[in-house]
């Protein structure tokens, strides 16, 4: 089975969130399951730095509209994964992250940038490709490659089967009609079964309408997005395609996120030797400037700061949390109002609240290991990886019951503790009072070492690896192949 995996991010080189992690790990797991996978990704500066000697494999021109010429380069990751890099310096050789400039503003030419990525993915998956290697399946991710199934269906012949995975329906790649020409799309594409979406062009909608199969990253989110409450305007289309939509829970990269072999930690530990966790707590407290205390629990947050993540509740609950007493460590960036609210909280509670604004991979690992309880009160969460990292690190998560959080975290109960299922704390209502009530309850359990130790054991016993999810993707790919 040959699979082209088209993505706008790939860890460890280019990552703004979970999509980067998924693209860094799932292709490897698919390879281990016997699949021939190549990852198609723009040749951003970070990839240029990592693979300066990438080999030229094709020159891509005449892609339509004002899509610029590009070169396709090939490199192999240190663990053997083939990467196909779309080299177009005018579009991809810039500072900032894949979507935003250094000032935090979307690049104005994002439709052209990800239009090119989508168009190249389609070209390489159709009969017209000049390369010998052609995929059986083109696997796209989010709006950034959402146009690829459309281009493949209407602008190429004899295309591969297509799968589009929804990582987050909140981002839809919506642009004005005026970009149609640049993208090589014509007025005949402008209709409800084409690329038009309420008077705009939507990359994601075009993909959702035309990919052969749709997946999203948890079973609960797959159901939620078919409702008006969570469908972000696309619920009708998703409901219509319910037969082709499946929820496959993400895994985590257990080579990177494993407390037994994590080089970022002050001390490694595992399920049978949890002692090292205490050393991580005190090292973390020192690192971020918290008082080194063992008499109260430390809550941890690692997140994009956006309304999705419900962290405005934590910012408001912060005073009450600090007075419980409990400590709080936050790492995140995003919404400026939320950044300011957390920074003010840290000023009010020196020694008990520590806030780092920024993106810091190493500190993220140390918070997962050093905190006692991981906070993730998301309003919606397609899957969520951080709660799985914290489960694997023996840091029971406290989450809101939504999407992948509902599929991975089982609320504390006496029976659940005993039968091995309970692994964290779950609340339902998005209010400060419920969050605080649940936090108080978690603190009470934390004060009982026997019950807490059992909860940690349950959390760490789970299998969060990519093994099973990779098998499910492979089954899906197989189901899309014509019968022999």
Yes or no: say if 126 and 159 are a contact pair by the CB < 8 Å rule: yes
Q: Within a 10 A sphere around the Cβ of 463, how many other Cβ atoms?
A: 9
Binding test (CB under 6 A) with ligand ADP, winner from 86, 166, 385, 439: 385
Q: From the CB of 469, what's the least distance to ligand GLC, in Å? A: 11
> What is the DSSP code (8-state) at residue 262?
-
Options 84-92, 108-116, 361-369, 378-386: segment touching ligand GLC (CB under 6 A):
378-386
383 in contact with ligand GLC (CB under 6 A): yes
Binding test (CB under 6 A) with ligand GLC, winner from 1, 2, 17, 416: 17
288 in contact with ligand GLC (CB under 6 A): no
How is residue 199 written in tokens? 């008077």
Query: Distance between CA 404 and CA 416 in Å, rounded?
Result: 19
Find the Cα–Cα–Cα–Cα dihedral 224, 225, 228, 230, rounded to 10°. 70
443 in contact with ligand ADP (CB under 6 A): no
18 in contact with ligand ADP (CB under 6 A): yes
List, in sequence order, every residue forming a beta bridge with 100; answer none if it has no partner.
106
Binding test (CB under 6 A) with ligand ADP, winner from 99, 200, 359, 441: 359
364 in contact with ligand ADP (CB under 6 A): yes
CA contacts within 13 A on the Cβ side of 95: 5
Yes or no: say if 163 and 157 are a contact pair by the CB < 8 Å rule: no
Query: Distance between CA 151 and CA 121 in Å, rounded?
Result: 9
What is the distance of C-alpha 306 from the center of its chain? 14
15 in contact with ligand GLC (CB under 6 A): no
436 in contact with ligand ADP (CB under 6 A): no
CA proximity to 336, closest of 312, 370, 354, 361: 312
How is residue 415 written in tokens? 């029976």
Q: Residue 168, by phi and psi: left (phi above 0), alpha (psi -120 to 50) or beta?
A: beta
CA proximity to 43, closest of 78, 88, 77: 88
Number of residues near ligand ADP (by CB under 6 A):
17
Q: Which does 48 bind (CB under 5 to 8 A by kind): ligand ADP, ligand GLC, none?
A: none
Helices and strands (H and E) in the chain: how many: 18, 18
Q: Residue 248, by phi and psi: left (phi above 0), alpha (psi -120 to 50) or beta?
A: beta
Q: At 363, is the secondary structure helix, strand, or coil?
A: helix
Query: Distance between CA 394 and CA 118 in Å, rounded?
Result: 40
Residue with tokens 């035309």: 210
Residue 242 or 340 with smaller CB distance to ligand ADP: 340
Residue 23 or 436 with smaller CB distance to ligand GLC: 23
Query: Distance between CA 143 and CA 146 in Å, rounded?
Result: 4
168 in contact with ligand GLC (CB under 6 A): yes
Q: Which does 304 bind (CB under 5 to 8 A by kind): ligand GLC, ligand ADP, none?
A: ligand ADP
319 in contact with ligand ADP (CB under 6 A): no
Site mask, ligand GLC, residues 27-66, x = CB under 6 A?
A: ----------------------------------------
Number of residues near ligand GLC (by CB under 6 A):
14
How is residue 261 written in tokens? 């072999």
Residue 112 or 288 with smaller CB distance to ligand ADP: 288
Residue 129 or 390 with smaller CB distance to ligand ADP: 390
382 in contact with ligand GLC (CB under 6 A): yes
167 in contact with ligand GLC (CB under 6 A): yes
303 in contact with ligand ADP (CB under 6 A): yes
Q: Which does 217 bind (CB under 5 to 8 A by kind): ligand ADP, ligand GLC, none?
A: ligand GLC
Binding test (CB under 6 A) with ligand ADP, winner from 27, 384, 424, 469: 384
Binding site for ligand ADP (CB under 6 A): 17-18, 21, 302-304, 331-333, 359-361, 364, 383-386
Q: Which parts of this chain interact with ligand GLC (CB under 6 A)?
A: 17-19, 22, 167-168, 217, 250, 381-385, 404
């Amino acid at each position: 089975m040959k699979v082209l995996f088209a993505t706008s991010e790939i860890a460890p080189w280019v990552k703004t969130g979970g999509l980067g992690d998924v693209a860094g790990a799932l292709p490897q797991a698919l390879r281990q399951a016997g699949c021939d996978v190549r990852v198609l990704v723009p040749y951003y500066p970070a990839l240029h730095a990592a693979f300066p000697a990438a080999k030229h494999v094709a020159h891509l021109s005449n892609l339509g509209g004002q899509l610029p010429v590009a070169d396709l380069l090939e490199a192999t990751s240190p663990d053997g994964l083939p990467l196909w890099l779309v080299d177009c310096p005018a579009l991809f050789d810039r500072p900032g992250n894949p979507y935003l400039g250094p000032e935090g503003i979307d690049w104005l030419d994002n439709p052209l940038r990800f239009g090119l990525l989508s168009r190249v993915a389609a070209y390489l998956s159709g009969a017209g490709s000049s390369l010998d290697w052609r995929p059986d399946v083109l696997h796209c991710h989010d709006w950034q490659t959402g146009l690829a199934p459309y281009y493949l269906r209407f602008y190429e012949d004899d295309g591969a089967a297509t799968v589009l995975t929804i990582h987050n329906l909140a981002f839809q790649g919506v642009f004005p009609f005026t970009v149609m020409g640049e993208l090589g799309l014509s007025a005949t594409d402008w209709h409800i079964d084409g690329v038009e979406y309420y008077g705009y062009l939507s990359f994601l909608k075009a993909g959702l309408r035309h990919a052969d199969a749709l997946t999203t990253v948890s079973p609960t989110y797959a159901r939620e997005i078919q409702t008006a409450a969570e469908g972000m305007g696309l619920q009708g289309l998703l409901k219509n395609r319910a037969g082709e939509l499946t929820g496959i829970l993400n895994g985590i990269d257990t080579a990177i996120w494993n407390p037994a072999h994590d080089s970022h930690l002050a001390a490694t530990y595992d399920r049978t030797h949890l002692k090292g966790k205490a050393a991580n707590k005190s090292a973390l407290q020192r690192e971020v400037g918290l008082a080194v205390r063992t008499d109260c629990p430390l809550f941890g947050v690692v997140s994009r700061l956006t309304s999705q993540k419900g962290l405005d509740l934590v910012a408001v609950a912060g005073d009450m949390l600090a007075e419980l007493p409990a400590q709080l460590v936050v790492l995140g960036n995003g919404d400026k109002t939320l950044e300011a609210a957390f920074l003010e909280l840290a000023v009010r509670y020196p020694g008990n609240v520590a806030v780092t604004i920024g993106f810091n991979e190493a500190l993220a690992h140390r918070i997962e290991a050093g905190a006692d309880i991981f906070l993730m009160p998301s309003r919606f969460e397609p899957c969520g990886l951080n709660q799985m990292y914290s489960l694997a690190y023996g840091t029971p998560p406290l989450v809101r019951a939504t999407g992948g959080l509902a599929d991975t975290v089982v609320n504390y109960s006496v029976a659940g503790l005993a039968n091995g299922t309970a692994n964290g704390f779950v609340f339902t209502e998005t209010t400060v009072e419920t969050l605080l009530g649940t936090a108080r309850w978690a603190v009470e359990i934390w004060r009982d070492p026997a019950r807490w130790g059992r909860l940690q054991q349950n959390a760490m016993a789970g299998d969060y690896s990519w093994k099973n999810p990779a098998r499910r993707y492979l089954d899906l790919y197989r189901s899309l192949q014509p019968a022999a």
